Structure 1
C-alpha cells in the first residue's frame, strides 16, 4: 500500500503503531511475533465492523523490513486512559463507558471465525515455550470444561488505553485476543488487567483500580445483579484469564506472581 513509516504513536505487548498516510496508521508486529496474530485481527476487525461495532476500518496489509503490518483508519481523539490521567473524565465516567462497551460487544452477532475459550486456550498451550508450569495446563482445561462456556463475543482487553474517544463516540482498538465466552470472562480480563497488571506500571496505581471498580459496579447495575453476585460469578474464570496473560507474556516481570495466583485459584476450585 502507498504510504511511509512516520512517527511512532503507540506501542503494545506485541506491536507498535506509526503514522502511515493521511488518515491512516500502520500497526506493525514486533520481531518474532507470528503473522497469524495480525491476520486474525484483520478478520476480526472486518467482521465486527460489519456487525456495527465502533472500530477503525482496515485498509490493507504491508510488510516492512520483514515485519508484518495492518494499515488502519486513524482515529482522531485522546484515549480514555489519557482523559482519566488529566482528570477530564472521572473514574466513574470511564467505568461507565467501558461497561457500556462490554455489554454492546457481548450482544454483537458472533463472527464465524471466532474460537471458543477452550479452543483459544488449546492454541496458546500448543505454543507455550516454558512460560507455564506443565501441571497447570491440564488443570486449566479441566476448569474450562467445568464452567459455562458462554456464547458471546469477548474482546478481552477493554482497558482505557484501547478506547479512543472520537467525535463520533468511543471506538475500540486491539482485536487480536477476541474469543467466544461468557460476559464474566470479559469482566475477568478487565479486572486482572486493571487491578493486577496496570497498577504495576501506572504513574498512579489507584487510577486503574478505581476505573475497574467503577466498570464492574456499572455493569452490575446495567444487568440488574448485585456487585457481589457479579464478583462471585467472575471468580472461577480468573485462573483462566491469568493463564492467558502468562502465555501471552504481556508483563513478564509479573509471571511468577500470576502463576502463584493461578495455582491458588485452581486449589480453591477443587
Structure 2
C-alpha cells in the first residue's frame, strides 16, 4: 500500500484520514504517536463494536512508512458541529440530543481489567503532565482514589465533532480514549471540552463560530443530562479537578492549557483550605 496514492479527506490532532476504496478509510496516526497507542485504539474499537451498534467497524491494523493505522468503515455524513452551525435555530435540540446520546453509552455496563479503568487512565495522564509538581501529582492521585468507582462504558472524548450524522442516524467516532468507570468523569470531560476546548483545525470562521456556540451547547447538554439522570451537579463537580489536570497532558492549544491550569490550581487551593 502506498499512502501517497490515497486521497486525504480529513485530519485531527493525532491522525490523518485517507479514503480507502469506496466504503472504508484509513486512520493513519502521526509519526509521534507510538505503536502501543495506535494498537490500543484498534483493540478498543474491536471491543467496543460488540457493545455499541452505531460506531464505525474496525477491520485491520496496519503499518505504513513507520506510521500506524486502522482501517475503518467510511461514514458518509456530516459532523454535529457543522450541522449546528448550519441550523443554529435548532441548537437547543441538538444539544439535548447530544446529552441523550451520551446517556445511551452510559447504559452499557462492562467488565474489564483495571488498566482500562477511568481512574487508571486519569492517574497515568496526571503522572505524565510536566507542568504539575510532584506534590500536586501526589495530591491529585490521593484525591482520585477517594472518588467513586463505576463499571460503565465511557467515551472520554464525547463532543459534537465526534458525532457524525449518516442519513438520520448518529454515528459515534474516535474511541481512542475510551475507558470504563464512573460516568460522571465522562460527563465532566465533555463539560470541560465544550466550555474551554478549541478546534485544532478548520477555517477561521468555523473556529470562531464554534467558540461562540459551544458554551451554549455545553449549558444545554449539562442541564439535559442532569434532568434525565440520577446524578447531581455535585457528583459531576467532584471529577472536574482530576479530569482537567489529566487533560493538560494532551495536544491542546496553549491558551486552553493556561485556562485549565488555572482551574486546577484554583480547585486544589479550595480543597486544601
Distance 1:209 1:129, change over 3 A: closer
- Residue matched to 1:209: 215
Which ranges of structure 2 fall in alignment gaps of 5 or more residues?
202-206
**Aligned-pair distance for 1:53?**
3.6
* 3-state secondary structure, aligned to 2:37: helix
Distance 1:28 1:240 in 2: 30
Counterpart in the other structure of 1:36: 36
Q: 1:237 to 1:224 in 2, by over 3 A?
A: closer
- Aligned twin of 1:117: 118
Give yes or no for contact 1:48–1:111 (8 Å, CA) kept in 2. Answer: no
- CA deviations 1:86-105 (Å, max 9, x no partner) are 11672212212211221111
CA RMSD after TM alignment: 2.4
Q: Give the distance between the partners of 2:2 and 2:112, measured in 1 at CA.
A: 31
Stretch moving more, 200-209 or 236-245: 200-209
Q: SS of 2:13's equivalent?
A: coil
Deviations 1:8-37 (A, max 9, x none): 222222112121221111111112111222
Task: Give the Cα–Cα distance (whole angstroms) in 2 for the partners of residues 224 and 145 of structure 1.
Answer: 22
Following superposition, the deviation at residue 152 of structure 1 comes to: 1.5
Count of matched residue pairs: 265
Q: Extract unaligned runs of 5+ from structure 1.
A: none
CA deviations 1:95-125 (Å, max 9, x no partner) are 1221122111111131525622221133334
2:87 matched to 1:87?
A: yes
TM-score (norm 1): 0.89
1:58 equivalent to 2:55? Answer no
Mean Cα deviation higher: 253-262 or 64-73: 253-262
Q: What aligned pairs does 1:22-171 form with structure 2 within 5 A after superposition?
A: 22-87=22-87, 90-110=90-110, 112=112, 115-125=116-126, 128=128, 130-167=130-167, 169-171=169-171
Quote the residue 2:268 is aligned against: 266
Residues 264/12 of structure 1: CA separation in 2 closer, same or farther (3 Å cut): same
The whole-number CA distance in structure 2 between the counterparts of 1:170 and 1:2 is 32
Question: Do the aligned residues in 2 keep the contact of 1:102 with 1:158 (CA within 8 Å)?
Answer: yes
Using the alignment, how far apart are the partners of 2:9 and 2:173 within structure 1? 14
Seen in structure 2, the aligned counterparts of structure 1 residues 121 and 245 have a Cα distance that, compared at 3 Å, is same
Cα distance in structure 2, aligned partners of 1:219 and 1:55: 21
Normalising to structure 2: TM-score of the pair?
Answer: 0.88
Quickly say closer, same or farther: Cα 1:123–1:65, change in 2 above 3 A: same
CA deviation profile, 1:189-218 (whole Å, cap 9, x unmatched): 111101111389831223111111111111
CA distance in 2, matches of 1:109, 1:3: 38
Alpha-carbon displacement from aligned partner over 1:222-241 (angstroms, at most 9, x marks no partner) = 2266xxxx332211211111
Does residue 255 of the first structure (1) align with residue 261 of the second (2)?
no
CA distance in 2, matches of 1:105, 1:4: 37
